[in-house]
Amino acid sequence: MNLSTPPPDFKYILFERVNPERNEQRFYCLAYLPTLIGPAVVRIYGRKDGAQQVVLPAPFDSLESAWPFIRKHIRARLRRGYRVVSTA
């Protein structure tokens, strides 16, 4: 995955981390969406079959200005053992 520049059609990226031995079934969704405060990065995470948490949206003027923030979170998820499930 090339993380140097944002894909022109980036909407979201979905990660998961499943480890049956440790009873882990986690997900993490990172999206660039229109919100009431303007375009923002929205993060949702939690257990796949349980509670979910939504982090307050981080507003950005454009996808290009949000990309360093998004890239930092993508790298962090990959370092922590998550794998990419879906992108749009």
For the stretch 11-61, pLDDT in tens is 999 999 999 999 999 999 999 999 998 999 999 999 998 899 999 999 999
The answer to pTM > 0.75 is yes
Residue 46: CB atoms within 10 Å: 15
Domain holding 34, by residue range, is 12-87
Does a structural domain hold residue 2?
no
Structural domains counted in the chain: 1
Instruction: Compute, in degrees rounded to 10, the torsion defined by CA atoms 38, 62, 14, 76.
Output: -110
Give the largest CA-CA distance in the chain.
43
Residue 84, both tokens: 């990419």
Does a structural domain hold residue 70?
yes
Closest CA to 6 of 84, 59, 66: 66
Does a structural domain hold residue 43?
yes
